[in-house]
Amino acid sequence: MNGPELLRIVDAIHRDKSINKEVVFEGIEQAILSAARKHYGEDEVIEVHVERSSGHPTVKTNGVEVDSDALGELLGRVSAQTAKQVMIQKIREAERDALFDEYVDQRNQIVTGTVSKLEGGSSVINLGKVEGLLPRGEQIPGEGFRVGDRVRAIVLEVRKSGSRVKIILSRTHVEFVRRLFEIEIPEVSERIIEVRSLAREAGYRSKVAVSCFDNNIDAVGACVGVRGARIKNITGELGDEKIDIVRWNDSLQVLVPNALQPAEVEDVILCPMLGRVIVLVRDDQLSLAIGKRGQNVRLASKLVGWDIEVMTREELDEQLERAVQAFSETPGVTADLAESLVAQGFLSFDDLSVIEPDQLAEMGGLTEEQCDVVVEHAERESERLEQEQRQRRVQDKVHSNQEHDRQEQERRSPRVVEKVESVEVNEDAGIAVEVPQGIEHLASDGADPAAIGGDV
């Protein structure tokens, strides 16, 4: 193997496999080294170098350079098979590394492929150079694929697995919605409209907060499109998942009501020490603000990054009164400190148990020991109340099951009650006979009531 021939091999591998030339040269050096060790033995000190410009290989054993005839004999003998195996392994590793680097750069980006096979609920997606796995847990609930279907998903994870690259795809990740917005809405891809925050429960509902640098452009309207054309394309890709587009505002007093739409909010109370927002609504808006199984308030909390607690003004007043009374009975807590804690949004012992001691000391002028006593008392009370609540839930469940069993038993064994309309007396026998409804008509036709009623 002469220098020009080796250079042609390197160049061909570089073009066909998209592998860096330096990696190919290192692979060739490793292959020659393996062949030389097999020829000269493991005890020899062997050095191999391939000149990058000329492609001429140089081999030294114990510091002495091997002449060209011996080198040609070395590379042409049986050890050439070993060199070939090493070279193939190096090329495979280089291909894997190139694919890994390519798809690592595409993480959280959308890729498109076709379903090549189905494996126990998961789908294997052919992406061209490599296959990606779309696990069942990363598919939108309710959707199913068949072999040959085209699929869009984001690259969730890329990792090396032996000589292969394993790519995990996702259609449930929140970034999938962001990338669809960039594809379907030009203003988003051009950064005229910015997606500021997202919250998603895949297959059911998403909330997307948007803003625009140009005041002349309606960010929400641009995302919806004419007659909803743009948003329909996105929801169609997501299996008709509902999407609420929210106008972003840096003020939580404005953003939180926007995030809770379509519910109408009366007031927003911020509790910075707890990272909580108390939202007051009317009675008729309470269920709408909370949403089905708490979905609306849960997504709104994720969107704004604060815990949101929705209640009516009457419920808030009751909680404030209970909290002040309970905190006032805590050892070391004065009435003024109790009111100060409630004013900061601490409405339960569970809230009080997570307060920082330095904050409590600053608010009440307490020592470190007194703060520890207050926090420990709050933790005990929180655990006690939680245990009582669990017991109540168990008892309620038992009562509910008993009531269900009773109703089921009544349904399976109905009682038949005849309505007695009149009582006639058989004067000959001196016996009173009960005549059910309908018997009177038969008796008037000449039938004997006693005979009709059976043996008396």
Q: What value does the mean pLDDT of the chain take? A: 82
Residues 9 and 91 in one domain: yes
**pLDDT exceeds cutoff 90 at 220:** yes
- Band of residue 260 on the pLDDT scale cut at 50, 70, 90: very high
Q: pLDDT-based confidence at 329, cuts 50/70/90?
A: confident
Specify the pLDDT at position 72: 67
Identify whether residues 79 and 17 lie together within a single domain. Answer: yes
Q: Which of 191-205, 316-330, 365-379 has the highest mean pLDDT?
A: 191-205
- Is 205 a domain residue? no
- The percent of residues above 70 in pLDDT, for the chain, comes to 85
In the DSSP assignment, the letter for residue 418 is P
**pLDDT of 424 strictly over 70:** no
Q: Which of 216, 209, 212 is nearest to 244 (CA)?
A: 209
Q: Are residues 131 and 75 in the same domain?
A: no
Picking from 47, 73, 101, the residue at the C-terminal end of a domain is: 101
184 part of a folded domain: no
Percentage of the chain beyond pLDDT 90 is 39
Residue 282: pLDDT over 80? yes
Task: Judge whether residue 306 has pLDDT over 90.
Answer: yes
Whether residue 379 is found in the same domain as residue 444: no
Which residue, 364, 319, 365, 325, is CA-closest to 345?
319
3-state secondary structure of 73: helix
Query: In the structure, what pLDDT confidence band is assigned to residue 63 with cuts at 50, 70 and 90?
Result: confident
Is residue 176 included in any domain, yes or no? no
Is the pLDDT reported for residue 177 higher than 70?
A: yes
Structure tokens at 43: 């005890």
Which among 119, 98, 4 is positioned nearest to 56, based on CA atoms? Answer: 4
> Residue 415's pLDDT is what?
53
Q: What is the mean pLDDT of residues 393-401?
A: 85
| Residue 77 token pair | 């003998």
Out of 35-39, 69-73, 428-432, pick the least confident.
Answer: 428-432
CATH of the domain at 267: 3.30.300.20
Rounded CA-CA distance 92/194 in Å is 42
Q: Based on the domain organization, do 54 and 8 belong to the same domain?
A: yes
Q: Is residue 22 part of a domain?
A: yes
- Domain membership of residue 270 as a residue range: 249-311
Q: Where are the beta strands (DSSP E) in 174-282?
A: 193-201, 205-212, 242-247, 267-271, 276-280
Give residue 225's region: left, alpha or beta (phi > 0; psi -120 to 50).
left
DSSP 106-159: TBTSEEEEEEEEEETTEEEEE-SSSEEEE-GGGSPTT----TT-EEEEEEEEEE
How far is Cα 245 from Cα 251, in angstroms, rounded to an integer? 17
In degrees and rounded to multiples of 5, residue 346 shows phi and psi of: -80, 105
Instruction: State residue 418's pLDDT score.
Output: 46
Whether residues 382 and 433 fall in one domain: no
92 and 126, same domain (yes or no): no
- pLDDT at position 349 is 86
Indicate the SS3 state at residue 67: coil
The model's confidence at residue 86, banded by pLDDT at 50, 70 and 90, is low
Statement: residue 134 has pLDDT above 70: yes
311, 345, 361: which is the final residue of a domain? Answer: 311
Average pLDDT of the residues in 154-161: 91
- Are 355 and 340 part of one and the same domain? yes
- Mean pLDDT in residue range 158-170: 88
Domain-ending residue, one of 101, 130, 145:
101
Sign of the alpha-carbon dihedral angle for 77, 79, 81, 85 = negative
Match 């090549």 to its residue by tokens.
116
Does any domain span residue 243? Answer: no
Same domain, 63 and 89: yes
Residues 94 and 44 in one domain: yes
* CATH code (residue 354): 1.10.150.20
pLDDT at 429: 45
Query: Is residue 365 domain-resident?
Result: yes
Position 284 scores a pLDDT of: 92
The pLDDT score that the predictor gives to residue 68 is: 66
Selection from 64-68, 303-307, 445-449 with the highest mean pLDDT: 303-307
Return phi, psi of residue 332, to 5°: 90, -5
**Any domain includes 228:** no
Cα atoms in the Cβ-side hemisphere of radius 13 Å centred on 332: 18
Rounded Cα distance, 76 and 74, in Å: 6
Cβ neighbours of 206 (radius 10 Å): 23
Asked whether residue 95 falls in the same domain as residue 111, the answer is no
What CATH number is attached to the domain comprising 141?
2.40.50.140
pLDDT for residue 203 is more than 60: yes
Q: Which two tokens stand for residue 51?
A: 């000149």
Evaluate whether residue 406 is within a structural domain. Answer: no
Contact indicator for 373, 357 with CB cutoff of 8 Å: no
Which pLDDT does position 1 carry in this prediction? 54
Cα–Cα dist 28/23, whole Å? 9
Q: How many domains does the chain have?
A: 5
Across 151-178, average pLDDT = 92
Whether residue 176 is predicted with pLDDT greater than 90 in this model: the reply is yes
The answer on 95 and 7 residing in a single domain is yes
